[in-house]
Amino acid sequence: MGAPGWLKYACGKLIRLASLLAAVSIITFALISWSPIDPVQAYIGADMMKVGAEQREEIAAYWGLDQPPVERFLRWAGAIMQGDFGNSMIYREPVVEVIGQRFWYSLTLMAAAWLLSGLFGFAAGSAAAMNRGGRLDRSIQWVCHTLASTPSFWLGLLLLMVFAVWLGWLPAGLGVPAGVAAEHITIADRIRHMLLPAAALSITGISAVALHTRQKLINVLDSDYILYARAKGERGWQLYRNHGLRNIALPAMSLQLASISELFGGAVLAEQVFTYPGLGQATVQAGLRGDVPLLMGLVLFSTLFVFAGNTAADVLYRLVDPRMRGYEHDSRIV
């Protein structure tokens, strides 16, 4: 890929990203302004009876809630342009810091779930397709369909009951042990706390990956070039490694990168069930308690994250698939 083509591609992507971010923030802001949640009421909570109407108005004025929504949005957008994401109302910290702390929890959780579902799903799907119609194929499909129809929060509760309550092997919640000083928390502690949410998050992902991989590999196995490869004496693992893996690796990778958006959605539920202090939980809190700056920050951040995943899939194809590479290497011109 030459520099001009590369530059053009990057500029196009940037413009798309900017318009996406603008659209997402406008829609989110509009939805929040129409939502019935009164931020002041949500903030005061149970002390509502003790706070007078005047005080409430003062709080609203302090937050700028007395102004019309369009004006509030423009002020927020102006601040964003200067890199100021504002302060979270519920955590009373800058939004950037709240996201920064929680991002690492979510990132490790999602990365673990992403890798687990990707690897297990790919292996299961490949095994099923290579034994198409056999007993292994049917059992893998059966398990996948069962898992696919299992809600992840229910699976999370089930995991909690078995591993945290009955067996007591793993902690039931939080990102770190409660009542332990921060400097005494080990990486092992963090991993132990991450295991159950990661399992809940990845198990439902496995079935989608496995079924997609299986279908894709079956299409590949039905192709002319597999027939020819078999006619040349290739079979079994050799056939899979030479032609199967090669032809399903790319679609599988791009599917996996594009699935980051679903992973984000799943993380919201999984973190809620396991009271895991990640971005998903913060999103739920911000939404329920009308914390507009935090919610907007989270939405922008997750948009960026998902966009990065999709772009990575796109770029990967261009770099790896010989059919998508630039034409300067195309020797047909000779």
- Interacting residues toward another protein by CB under 8 A: 133, 223-225, 227-235, 242-243, 246-247, 250, 321-323, 330-332
CA dist 223 and 226 (Å) reads 6
Rg (CA), the chain: 25
- For the chain, the farthest-separated pair of C-alpha atoms sits apart, in whole angstroms, at 85
Cβ of residue 326: shortest distance to another protein, in angstroms?
A: 12
Cβ of residue 223: shortest distance to another protein, in angstroms?
A: 7
Cβ of residue 252: shortest distance to another protein, in angstroms?
A: 13
Residue with Cβ nearer another protein (16 or 232): 232
CA dist 274 and 171 (Å) reads 9
Please give the structure tokens belonging to residue 213.
């991989």
Residue with Cβ nearer another protein (114 or 240): 240
Cβ of residue 166: shortest distance to another protein, in angstroms?
A: 45
Place of tokens 């009876």: 49
| CA distances (Å), origin 284, targets 7, 22, 34, 287, 303 | 39, 22, 17, 5, 16
Residue with Cβ nearer another protein (242 or 310): 242
Please give the structure tokens belonging to residue 241.
């490694």
Cβ of residue 213: shortest distance to another protein, in angstroms?
A: 16
Q: Where is 102: in which H helix or E strand? A: helix 95-130
Cβ of residue 156: shortest distance to another protein, in angstroms?
A: 39
CB 291 within 8 A of CB 285: yes
Cβ of residue 229: shortest distance to another protein, in angstroms?
A: 7
3-class SS letters over 36-98: CCCHHHHHHHHHHHHCCHHHHHHHHHHHCCCCCHHHHHHHHHHHHHCCCCCECCCCCCEHHHH
